[in-house]
Structure 1
């Protein structure tokens, strides 16, 4: 990417409500925020089969013509992502937002209107019931600003209020699961902290210079975007680190779990992880916290080093060390991967879903943790400035799968500007992911492999990725019932 191209790249807001506009002159690395209508582009930018530009990165709002508008599909996607209060029934195959809001308030749930811009919560407002005036009250809440929390107040309250953080996460997930990047999510939360999505609404009209929360968010995004473009193809990121915190359990001969806190402390490179059972905090799960690394082999070596240390702390040879997605009923295990040195974008998050989560799901043998855990696009910001991708199950069950997951993640991070970025997985594929239907998922492998094969960094990571693809084609699945220390050559299996 030349300096001239970098200077020409921009962030544009397309909103038909602001009147007609000249056809956009877009470059390969422009970002287009589509609030409403359909952008009219010049002939140099050709749309792909999904109606989206093959060149520009489009961020969609509910009013955009490419955005998901099928209400029955909204219900299905939210149901798969665990975002509904109740399982959809025959009479609730489509949303009736006003009814859902009234029912939630009637049942004692708190309801919030949460403004979201590109994975960032920029405003939160409580919605109140006033009898039959509910709809008017909620609509007023979505357009007024006098009762919205300021940026400083919002950060302060979210830091102090776990319920508000849950509401914020649910709002971001509600939009992300529909292929949207900005909008107002109506989210409810009950006294036990359970959240549900009720509706998604269009953003109010704004222009880039009006000082509104939306205009300010565009400004922050534009600054991030300009910085991020420095790592466009031909100028890769130089300081990406990859880390992880995979989970495991220790299983007694009778099939029950030996609590990890019997052997490990809570902190450190090998420790016990918390699990809330009812109102009681327990520590039954083991977790490895290896040092971050630059390559898949280096991170795998760090994982093994922590596994050796963990094994030395357990003096019970009768225990089986188990990993995977849910090797023991009711205990879901994660294989979270951390990235730093690369910004978190919805573009990268959707690529991780397609190019990392789907291939790993093709070799899972125990996918029962979804959708409560391991939903698509699950992430968490980290204090070190990076982020944690939380969708994957515990790949400790297979060192080869672990290295493939690391390599695919790094490839996505380095080549985010080159890889395709579909805003939504096809429904059939998404459903297969949540159901653990490998037969359907495997049908996606050839397309995924072809897209990755032309990525600039593929040759650097192929030696870790191709064994995974070969295993998928052979119908291999990992063995979550085996002691995973054998494949890592640790403890009684060391050679």
Structure 2
């Protein structure tokens, strides 16, 4: 049986060709889309739920919505704004992480007059239109939907003369003309196929990473990574160049690029080998390697993870947020969380040319082997079992605020909830040692220090422990 649309008794229900009704069928369905009803919580249902009760509650309560938009750095909800304020409006229909229809008002001074008369004409913007404004509107729309905990919604945005955006309306069950119903059902069919592929996966998830670091001299000043490392290779420079550098040759951020691997232990080993290559270039005590979120003000760095052979959908991103980003945030100092929400916001992701995707929420987790191993192993387990990981503590506005503000005490109260689910996974026993060490550190450890040379924790030269000389054999008499 295909997916099911669970709805109320509303008369203006879109003409879905999918099975639908006011009660769930007796047989198992691959997913449920709630339409105008909040009967199911996504964190409690036995099947994937689109538009779960958690997200619908955030939209129904204006204060909850305002809090979530604010902490995520998203445009505020406009309150009783005059229609004359807007030079343009957008209406965007979103399914999970992608808009499937974009409309906007035409340019020109007649917009306000048309709005007042109720004769506003919205024109569809095709995917080929790639202006900066349209890209911004599309990104804001899916981010608003994701941050609120929704999967399907219509977002209406307003753009003011000063370039400021505002959220005018979010509707989880909007009226849909037949052409948009067909578009949505096409997305739902692709989504169902992706879920089936992830359930019946025959190949292990392929995991990659490109964690970043920076160099600091003895006075605490930035040293360019490009002084020591090439652009390419297993250890090189990020493409971000120094401000004001017209040559684009002065690159401040270093980057490790281990080979993608199916086994997280192989990824950790190659990461360490690349660090050893870097040590051959920089083994001086007066040049420290530093990591975290923002070891130098104005230079946010990350611990990006790359996933292949698994679908990029809101369920997986929320699992990564709740089961990985949340525990790691329990160890972040204030300097690290300063990169958010502009960088490292919840659900921060980017598609990759190779067909996979990059998860960009995490700071650079190179600060210690315990943290690096925990992050890489957790990422692997979450990607392979995300359909079984349904807890959503970060759906609550106060939990999101704690994440963005770095309230470790509040986040640590949520940690046992996600740890229990990870411990129930069939793959947990294989990695129990490093995972328990990571979770224990997240629950009770001190935040990392972004001024500390990470080579000490990794026991790399010049801080590698000296091997004692072998005992001499006694001379024969």
The TM-score bracket by the shorter chain reads: 0.7 to 0.9
Contact 1:35/1:203 (8 A) holds in 2: yes
Q: 1:127 to 1:310 in 2, by over 3 A?
A: farther
Match of 1:54 in 2: 45
2:355 alignment partner in structure 1: 385
Distance 1:138 1:341 in 2: 48
* Correspondence 1:115 to 2:82: no
Give secondary structure in 1 for the equivalent of 2:218: coil
Which runs of 5 or more structure 2 residues have no equivalent in the other structure?
Answer: 15-19, 466-477
Aligned residues: 450
In structure 2, do the counterparts of structure 1 residues 434 and 226 end up closer, same or farther at CA, with 3 Å as the change threshold?
same
Write out per-residue CA displacement over residues 68-113 of structure 1, whole angstroms, 9 at most, x where no aligned residue. Answer: 211222111111111126xxxxxxxx642644x75353xxxx6433
Which of the numbers 93, 109, 112 marks the counterpart of 1:131? Answer: 112
Q: Give 1:69's match in structure 2, choosing from 47, 60, 68.
A: 60
Greater alpha carbon shift after TM alignment, 411-420 vs 380-389: 411-420
CA 413–134 in structure 1, closer or farther in 2 if over 3 Å, else same: same
Greater mean alpha carbon deviation, residues 196-205 or residues 71-80: 196-205
Aligned counterpart, 1:37: 37
- Structure-1-length-normalised TM-score: 0.81
Pick closer, same or farther for the CA change 1:481–1:104 going to 2, 3 Å. Answer: farther
The residue that corresponds to 1:217 in the other structure is 184
Tell me: CA distance 1:148–1:454, structure 2 relative to 1, closer, same or farther (3 Å): same
Structure 1 residues 315 and 389 mapped into 2: Cα distance closer, same or farther (>3 Å)? same
CA offsets, 1:403-449, max 9 Å, x none? Answer: 11111111111112212153952222211111111111111111111
SS at match of 1:443: helix
- CA deviation vs aligned residue, 1:146-176 (integer Å, no higher than 9, x gap): x3134xxx0x334xx4553333222211111
2:252 corresponds, among 284, 303, 317, to: 284
Q: Structure 1, residues 214-236: CA drift from partner, whole Å, max 9, x if none?
A: 4223223323323422443xx55
* Residue 14 (structure 1) shift: 3.7
Q: Is the 8 A contact 2:330 2:443 kept in 1?
A: no
Is contact 1:324-1:397 (8 Å) kept? yes
Q: Work out whether residues 43 and 390 of structure 2, in 8 Å CA contact, stay in contact via their aligned partners in 1.
A: no
| CA RMSD, Structure 1 to Structure 2 (Å) | 3.3
- SS state of the match for residue 255, structure 2? strand
Secondary structure in structure 2 of the residue aligned to 1:251: strand
CA displacement at 1:305 relative to structure 2 = 2.0
User: Residue 207 of structure 2 is aligned with which of 197, 219, 242?
Assistant: 242
Q: Deviations over 1:335-359 (max 9, x none)?
A: 1111111101111111111100000
Q: Secondary structure at the match of 1:416?
A: helix
Paired residues of 2:225 and 2:254 also in contact (CA < 8 A): yes
**After alignment, is 449-458 or 68-77 more displaced?**
449-458
Match of 1:3 in 2: none
Distance 1:312 1:166 in 2: 43
Matched, 1:229 2:220: no
Counterpart position of 2:473 = none
Distance 1:418 1:428 in 2: 25
Mapped partners of 1:201, 1:278: distance in 2? 44
Counterparts of 1:313 and 1:187, CA distance in 2: 50
Q: Structure 1, residues 51-77: CA drift from partner, whole Å, max 9, x if none?
A: 875223221299x96562112221111
Q: CA deviation at 1:313?
A: 3.5
1:474-489 alignment, distance < 5 Å: 474-489=444-459
Contact 1:378/1:390 (8 A) holds in 2: yes
Q: How does 1:319-338 map to 2 (within 5 A)?
A: 319-338=287-306
For the residues of structure 2 that align with 1:383 and 1:329, how far apart are their CA atoms? Answer: 31
